[in-house]
Structure 1
Amino acid sequence: MPVTLHKVDHACWAGDAQVAHDLSRIYADAPAERLPLPADEFIQQHLSSGGLFCCARFNERLLGAIAVMCDDEAWWLSHFCVRKATRRRGVGSRLLALVGEAAYGEGCVLRVATSTLMMGDQLLLSRHGYRLVDGGNYFELNPPASQGGNQ
C-alpha cells in the first residue's frame, strides 16, 4: 500500500480519535529542541490558529506530518516530523512530494522560513528543489512550468 496524503484540520483532529492519537505520536517522537511546546499543546495551538497538518498515511496510520499555514499565494511549512520507527524509509521524501502536488493543485508555492530549520533540514529541502530566496529569509519551491509552454 502506497503512502498517501491525509490533511488534518481541527475538525478531523477533534472528530477522529485514531488521527489524534497518530498525530500526537508523530510529534512526541520529535526532538525537544524542534517543538516550541509539548506535542499535544503544539498540535492544539497550531490547529486553533487556523493551521492544518499534511500527513503521510500508510496502512491506515499516520507516519509523518508537516505543519502548514496557508495564505493566498503560498503554503508555509514548518515542524516536519516522521515517526522514529519509520525514519530513513522514504516517508519524508514522499510526504514532501505529496504536499507539493497538493499545493500546486491549488496554485500555491511552498515556503519554509529559514528560522525554523536546522542544517539537515536545509540540505533536505535543497535536495528536493527548494531554493533560498528573499535575502535568505525562506526556502521556496515553485510549481513546475506548465506542459503547454505558457510561462
Structure 2
Amino acid sequence: MPVTLHKVDHATWAGDTQVAQDLSRIYADAPTERLPLPADEFILQHLSRGDFFCCARFNDRLLGAVAVIRDNEAWWLSHFCVRKTTRRRGVGSRLLALVAESAHAEGLVLRVAVSSLMMGDQLLLSRLGYRLVEGGNYFELNPLASQGGKQ
C-alpha cells in the first residue's frame, strides 16, 4: 500500500482516537531540541489556532507529519517529523511531495522559515527543489512557477 496524504485538523484529531494516538507518537519521537513543548501540548496548541497537520499514512497508520499554517499565498511548514522506526525509508520525502501537490491544487506555494531549520533540514529542502528566497528568511517551493502559474 502506498503512502498517502492525510490532513488532520482539530475536528479530525478530536474525533478519531487512532489519529490522535498516531500523531502523538510521531511527535513523541521528535528530538527535544526540535519541539518547543511536550508532544501532546504542541499538537493541541497548533490545532487550537485553526492550523492543521499534513501526515503520511501507510497501512491505516500515520508515520510522519508536518505542521501547516495557511495564509493567502502559502502553506508555512514547520515541525517536520517521521516516526523513528520509519526514518530513512522515503516516508518524509514522499510526505513533502504529497504536501506540495496538495498546496499546488489550492494555488499555493510552500514556505519554511529558515529560523526553524537545522543544516540537515536545509540540505533536504534544497534537494527536494526548495529555494532560499532573496533576503534569506525562508525556503520556498513554487510548483506553479514551472507551469506558468503565479510566481
TM-score by length of 2: 0.96
Q: Structure 1 runs of 4+ off > 6 angstroms?
A: none
Superposed CA offset, 1:72-118 (max 9, x none): 11000000000000000000000000000000000000000001000
Relative distance call for 1:118 and 1:15 in structure 2 (3 A) is same
The equivalences for 1:15-94 within 5 A come to 15-94=15-94
Q: Which amino acid aligns with 2:28?
A: A
Name stretches of at least 5 consecutive residues in structure 1 with no aligned partner: none
Alignment partner of 2:135: what SS? helix
In the other structure, the counterpart of 1:116 is 116
**How much does 1:150 deviate?**
6.7
Partners of 1:143 and 1:15 lie apart in 2 by 33
Could you tell me which amino acid in structure 1 is paired with residue 74 of structure 2?
A: A
Distance 1:134 1:6, change over 3 A: same
Residue type of the partner of 2:91?
A: V
**Structure 1 residue 143 displacement after superposition:** 1.4
Q: Could you list the per-position Cα deviations for residues 96-141 of structure 1 after superposition, in whole angstroms to 9, with x for gaps in the alignment?
A: 0000000000000000000100000000000000000141100000
Residue 115 of structure 1 aligns with an amino acid whose one-letter code is S
User: Paired residue for 1:125?
Assistant: 125
Displacement of 1:50: 1.4
Unaligned runs of 5+ in 2: none
Deviation of 1:60 (Å): 0.0
Distance 2:110 2:4 in 1: 18
SS of residue matched to 1:47: helix
When residues 150 and 51 of structure 1 are mapped into structure 2, their CA distance, relative to the original with a 3 A threshold, is closer
Distance of 1:141 and 1:23 partners within structure 2: 25
Tell me the distance in 2 between the aligned counterparts of 1:40 and 1:104. Answer: 30
Matches of 2:134 and 2:35, distance apart in 1: 25
CA distance in 2, matches of 1:131, 1:58: 29
Give the number of equivalent residue pairs. Answer: 149
